[in-house]
Each structure stands twice: as C-alpha cells, then as structure tokens.
Amino acid sequence: MTDRDDLVRFLNEDIPAGDVTSDAIIPDISCTAIIRAEQNGVIAGIEEASMLFSYAGVTVTPHKNDGNRVRKGDVVVSLSGRAKNVLLVERTALNILGRMSGIATRTAAMVAIVNAQNTSCRIAGTRKTCPGFRRFDKKAVQLGGGDPHRMNLSDGILIKDNHLALVPLGEALRAARHHYAYKKIEIEVESAADAVKAAAAGADIIMLDNMTPGQVRETLSVLEEKGLRDRVTIEVSGGIEEESLREYAACGVDIISMGALTHTVKNFSLSLEIQPVAPGTE
C-alpha cells in the first residue's frame, strides 16, 4: 500500500502548482487516449500507471498485464476521461512505464541467455537502483523473470569487502549466525580459499566477486571436493556484461547478479495519443 504514496509523490513532483498549459488552453472536455508500445519487449508498470490515472479520475482499461511480451504497435492501455486529467498524468505514467518496461525487457533477455545454458541458474538484481524508485526497479526485475535480491539493508545479511576490511571473515560469519536465526547469510569472497572457509563456517550464499569464469570453475570444483558445494548457493557478481553471461552460466553457478539491470537502463519507447470526444457522443 506504500506504493500508492510513492506514486502520488511522483505525480506531485510534476505539478507543484498545477498544469499551467492545460489551465490556460484546455476546455473542460472529455477525451479517449491510447498508450502504445513503440518497440518489442516485456511490459511493466501497467499497475502503477493505472493507479495514477484512476487517482486522477480517468477510467483505465488495460489491454496487457504486467510481465506480458508486447510487440511494437500493441495497445497497452486505453483511457477515457477529462482531457485535463489525462494530460496531467501523461508524462509521469510514461516515465514509469518506460523505465520499468526497459528493465523488464533487459532482464528477460538476460534470463533467456542464461537459461539456454543452465535452466536452474537465476539472474538477480542489486541495490544499484535509482534513488526513490527502488521498489519499482525491483518489481520490474521480477516481471522480467529475475530475482530481486535483497530490497534494502534491512532485508538480508550480505558481508562485503568493506565489512571484511573491518572484521575477519570467520568472526563476521559467527557474529551474523549468532545474531539472526531467521535470515540467510551471504558473504562476498574473492578467492577459492575464502569460499571454502565461508562454506565451512556456515554461510548460506557465497558471492564470487569479480572472478573470471575460470576462477569460478576452479572455486566450484574445490568446494565440490571438500563436500561443501551442496551446502551453499553460489552467486557471481561484478561487472558481468551481456557478452560474458553465457560463459558464467555455463560454469554451473546458481545466481548471476547484474547491477546494470537497474543502474544503466535503456528506456522502453511508448506513446500516448489523445482523441477528443465529440460532445453528445460520450
């Protein structure tokens, strides 16, 4: 339900003191409108856009569901209501749809590449999201078939290099296990030796950071040897691009997390087209 507050804040960001253009020139008439995909991909943000149009008194008819594949030219949503209100929400709704669909489309592409190699390997997001838009970035990753990873610093334990600069690995894992019974414990390591140490000390998830595919394969085989592979989930992370994805997936890791899914987003192209409603025909 907190989404609602966020969405209304996004809208208000665009209208601190009304819509001066509509106030000056648009009469009090009704219109219909259509939001159309201008490219192929996975659509996301329909729920959010619909909420905002409804909030402004516009009737919304979704033609697609969030997570659906759409093709260029497909109608995503149709609208009818007071013309001023459609214009008021237009840009905010398109910004939400454009970013979320961009993320979902890219995630889905990454998932497809990975699953072609390894059907049980997941693509995950990170916390490298646009400030203030986190929950929508994460939802878009999910709609594209990815795992959102932890939502925030309260959500899960992840011991990273900067923690390990302050506390030794073994001590950190002991303290974390002692502190929480209900949370999985993830730790970032940079060598096979540390991966073994972490698995032996009871880590649930081990993130292999900035390793080459070769180093990943080696780490997995050492864990296997020591009988520790089954106890832990293995995630790889750190500068993984579309090109190297296939190779990492083929190593047999469980999860590949990619910051670029949400920190370097290509907007998904959509248009909104308004038609006046002839008086009397409404």
Q: Annotated active-site positions, please?
A: 91, 128, 160, 188, 209
| Closest listed residue to residue 85, CA positions, set 9, 37, 6, 32 | 32
Binding string, residues 107-146; x marks residues near a copy of itself by CB under 8 A: ---------------x-x--xxxxxxxxxx-x--------
Question: Which parts of 203-222 interact with a copy of itself (CB under 8 A)?
Answer: 204-205
Question: Least separation, in Å, of the C-beta of 115 and a copy of itself?
Answer: 14
Interface with a copy of itself (CB under 8 A), residue from 90, 111, 192, 211 = 90
As a whole number of angstroms, the distance between CA 149 and CA 138 comes to: 8
214: helix, coil or strand?
A: helix
CB–CB of 186/235 below 8 Å?
yes
CA distances to 9, 223, 260 from 234, in Å: 39, 10, 20
In the complex with a copy of itself, the residue whose CB is nearer, 71 or 165, is: 165
In the complex with a copy of itself, the residue whose CB is nearer, 214 or 274, is: 274
Question: Least separation, in Å, of the C-beta of 51 and a copy of itself?
Answer: 12
278: helix, coil or strand?
A: coil
Question: Least separation, in Å, of the C-beta of 201 and a copy of itself?
Answer: 13
Question: Least separation, in Å, of the C-beta of 92 and a copy of itself?
Answer: 6
- Judged by CB under 8 A, the number of residues near a copy of itself is 100
Asked whether position 163 contacts a copy of itself by CB under 8 A, the answer is yes
Asked whether position 42 contacts a copy of itself by CB under 8 A, the answer is no
Q: Which stretch binds a copy of itself (CB under 8 A): 107-115, 174-182, 189-197, 222-230?
A: 174-182
53: left (phi over 0), alpha (psi -120 to 50) or beta: alpha
Asked whether position 202 contacts a copy of itself by CB under 8 A, the answer is no
CB–CB of 119/159 below 8 Å?
no
Interface with a copy of itself (CB under 8 A), residue from 36, 106, 149, 197 = 149
As a whole number of angstroms, the distance between CA 127 and CA 153 comes to: 9
CA distances to 219, 227, 234, 240 from 248, in Å: 13, 22, 11, 9
As a whole number of angstroms, the distance between CA 99 and CA 94 comes to: 8
